[in-house]
Chains A and B, each alone.
Chain A
Amino acid sequence: GAVVSQHPSRVICKSGTSVKIECRSLDFQATTMFWYRQFPKQSLMLMATSNEGSKATYEQGVEKDKFLINHASLTLSTLTVTSAHPEDSSFYICSARDRLAGGLLYEQYFGPGTRLTVT
């Protein structure tokens, strides 16, 4: 089946630094990827929609200058948390939509997540 990977799986960074998280579709092409964040014992909240070759679309309340998204190829999207603060500590999950998804049972495939801790 379709696989989405994320790297790193865990990262600890100091306050004020930037950290990049990668999301890759391993065996399919994804024109659209989604980034979610999940606080402990809470549900997933959509942060932004990443479109290959164009600017990301951010959800209301999400700072686009803080959470930089780049979708440079059909298999890779990156989320960079700039000037990270402890309140950015969270679980970040990406999902990817198969470009040829029409008619398939599952529309999106989710990555395993990245645990970010800002000290």
Chain B
Amino acid sequence: KQEVTQIPAALSVPEGENLVLNCSFTDSAIYNLQWFRQDPGKGLTSLLLIQSSQREQTSGRLNASLDKSSGRSTLYIAASQPGDSATYLCAVRRGSGTYKYIFGTGTRLKVLA
């Protein structure tokens, strides 16, 4: 059974700091992995999607890497801003025959001005 864990559960950093969020999954046989952002009481915003054959994806100040063999992904946020404060979720798609995602436990990020 696939389990997705995110560390740390919560993080508070001063503005401008670069930071790394971690995601680990127990079954390396994934189709892709996606990082989401969730603001309090809101739905999800997709940030980056990495296919199993890819090593990383970049969008603006965000960079996500994937090491499928070790069951790990990281989300790197450069020059953090207060507007980045949110909960970040990673999710893995099980396989090509299903569109179901297994979500991680989330990291609550607070960037202090």
Interface residues of A (CB under 8 A from B): 4, 6, 32, 34, 36, 41-46, 49, 91, 93, 95, 97, 105-113, 115
Contact B99 A34 (CB under 8 A): yes
Given A97-B99, A106-B49, A107-B49, also A42-B105 (CB < 8 A) = yes
CB distance A105 to B49 under 8 Å?
A: yes
Residues from chain B with a CB closer than 8 A to the CB of A95 are 44
- Contact pick for A110, options B32, B41, B44, CB 8 Å: B44
Helix, strand, loop or mixed for chain B's interface? Answer: strand
Q: Chain A residues near B108: list those with CB within 8 A.
A: 41
Instruction: State whether the Cβ of B42 lies closer than 8 Å to any Cβ in chain A.
Output: yes
How many whole Å from A42's CB to the nearest CB in chain B?
A: 7
Q: Is the CB of B43 within 8 A of A107?
A: no
Residues of the A chain whose Cβ atoms lie less than 8 Å from the Cβ of B43 = 4, 6, 93, 110-113
B46 within 8 A of A: yes
Provide the bound-state CA to CA distance between A95 and B41, in Å: 16
A1 to B44, CA, bound (A): 14
Report the bound CA distance from A107 to B106 in whole Å. 20
Q: Contacts A43-B4, A108-B99 given; 7 further ones with Cβ under 8 A? A: A4-B43, A34-B100, A43-B104, A44-B44, A106-B46, A107-B99, A112-B43
Chain A residues with Cβ under 8 A from B104's Cβ? 43
**What CA separation (Å) do A45 and B4 show in the bound complex?**
12
Question: Which chain B residue lies CB-closest to A4?
Answer: B43
Residues of chain B in range 10-67 having any CB-CB distance to chain A below 8 Å: 32, 34, 36, 41-46, 49
CB distance from A43 to the nearest CB of B (A): 4
